[in-house]
């Protein structure tokens, strides 16, 4: 399976997530189901799918699969779950100090931070042209999210609390570090991807279960225990939200194993633009010149990053000197 096919599929699924979530709401923008249970069910879904594919891979493989069962190696898969748990909590904390639109724009810093951590921890060298492309991607996604002054955006964009901006930067680094660390885990040995996923998602199940228990204590068990409302209120659309979230996670792990974080960043960034475009037709959202400019800039960035250099510029031909035969 080619990475660009997986990246395109991830773009479609990621863009569908927000739309499906919106469609699963009631008319008053509330939910009949407990949204806190969605990540937990998503982890269960990914774990079951990974178990099935590992079983099928074992049956199809003529030789024993490489599966590392050392505790020292297995416990490392707990780290990404903890990182993303902190990241999710910081997200909610950041929104106390920044408006949602400002937070969304600040969130584009994860594109730059991913490139930086990608270079530092994975020792992957990017060309100057690729750095320019990453910078353009950040500018393009930010431009697409900026509203006009008529929407009172110009005055409020930089009027947030300094604490909010610091938390947004920390959130960007945590998001990037979680992705880079996961890529390191998946590529550090030749273990089966499905076995690695089982370790990753098992940790995710327990971390999310712990978070649901914490939520019960914080609410004083007002809605009962978390397992009592696990499937309550789930409609077909709500289950599609879970399936879409889980499928996106499985595709991300494939890209981490066989491509890299930058490909994932481009896929999710393009998904954001695709969501904005589809929203024009599905939810009667007005298109803006900023969205059009953002799409154009991101397309240029995509072209610069993935197109081979010799196809971007005409390199001078090097003439090979003709060797003269010596006179006898």
As a whole number of angstroms, the distance between CA 143 and CA 137 comes to 10
State the average pLDDT over residues 27-38: 87
| 14 within a domain of the structure (yes/no) | no
| 10 within a domain of the structure (yes/no) | no
| 213 within a domain of the structure (yes/no) | yes
Q: What per-residue confidence (pLDDT) applies to 320?
A: 56
As a whole number of angstroms, the distance between CA 85 and CA 79 comes to 10
**Of all residues in the chain, what percent are helix, strand and coil, respectively (each to 5)?**
70, 0, 30
pLDDT class for 179, splitting at 50, 70, 90? very high
pLDDT class for 156, splitting at 50, 70, 90? low
Mean pLDDT of the chain: 86
> When comparing pLDDT for 126 and 147, which is higher?
126
State the average pLDDT over residues 13-25: 89
Q: What per-residue confidence (pLDDT) applies to 185?
A: 93
| 1 within a domain of the structure (yes/no) | no
| 321 within a domain of the structure (yes/no) | no
pLDDT of 311 above 80? no
pLDDT class for 187, splitting at 50, 70, 90? very high
| 183 within a domain of the structure (yes/no) | yes
Q: What per-residue confidence (pLDDT) applies to 8?
A: 94
| 167 within a domain of the structure (yes/no) | yes
Domain count, the chain: 1
- How large a percentage of the chain has pLDDT more than 70? 89
| 97 within a domain of the structure (yes/no) | yes
State the average pLDDT over residues 268-279: 87
The residue range of the domain holding 167 is: 33-147+158-307
State the average pLDDT over residues 176-185: 94
Residue 249 token pair:
């996670």
pLDDT of 326 above 60? no
* pLDDT tens digits along 54-95: 999 999 988 888 898 888 888 999 999 899 888 877 876 887
As a whole number of angstroms, the distance between CA 44 and CA 299 comes to 36
Q: What per-residue confidence (pLDDT) applies to 209?
A: 92
As a whole number of angstroms, the distance between CA 13 and CA 196 comes to 22
The sign of the dihedral angle between the CA atoms of 239, 242, 245, 247 is negative
Nearest to 276 by CA among 178, 141, 177: 141
Most confident among 93-97, 102-106, 121-125, 242-246 (mean pLDDT): 242-246
CB atoms within 10 A of CB 293: 15
pLDDT class for 107, splitting at 50, 70, 90? confident
The sign of the dihedral angle between the CA atoms of 229, 235, 237, 239 is positive
């Amino acid at each position: 399976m080619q990475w660009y096919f997986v990246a395109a599929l991830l773009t479609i699924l990621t863009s569908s997530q927000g739309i499906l979530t919106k469609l699963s709401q009631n008319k008053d923008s509330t939910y009949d189901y407990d949204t806190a249970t969605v990540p937990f069910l998503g982890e269960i879904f990914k774990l079951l799918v990974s178990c099935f594919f590992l079983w099928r891979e074992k049956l199809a493989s003529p030789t024993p699969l490489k599966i590392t069962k050392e505790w020292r190696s297995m416990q490392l898969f707990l780290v990404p779950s903890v990182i993303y748990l902190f990241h999710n909590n910081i997200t909610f904390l950041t929104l106390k100090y920044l408006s949602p639109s400002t937070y969304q724009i600040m969130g584009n810093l994860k594109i730059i931070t991913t490139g930086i951590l990608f270079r530092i921890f994975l020792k992957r060298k990017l060309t100057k042209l690729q750095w320019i492309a990453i910078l353009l991607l950040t500018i393009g996604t930010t431009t697409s999210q900026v509203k006009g002054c008529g929407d009172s955006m110009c005055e409020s964009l930089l009027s947030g609390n300094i604490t909010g901006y610091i938390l947004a930067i920390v959130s960007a680094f945590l998001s990037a570090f979680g992705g880079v660390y996961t890529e390191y885990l998946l590529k550090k040995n030749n273990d089966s991807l499905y076995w690695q996923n089982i370790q990753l998602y098992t940790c995710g199940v327990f971390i999310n279960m712990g978070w649901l228990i914490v939520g019960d204590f914080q609410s004083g068990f007002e809605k009962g225990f978390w397992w009592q409302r696990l499937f309550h209120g789930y409609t077909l659309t709500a289950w599609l939200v879970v399936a879409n979230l889980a499928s996106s996670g499985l595709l991300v792990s494939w890209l981490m194993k066989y491509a890299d974080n930058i490909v994932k960043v481009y896929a999710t960034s393009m998904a954001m633009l695709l969501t904005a475009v589809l929203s024009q037709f599905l939810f009667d959202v007005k298109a803006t010149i900023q969205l059009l400019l953002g799409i154009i800039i991101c397309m240029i960035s995509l072209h610069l990053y993935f197109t081979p250099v010799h196809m971007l510029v005409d390199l001078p031909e090097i003439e090979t000197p003709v060797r003269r035969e010596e006179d006898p």
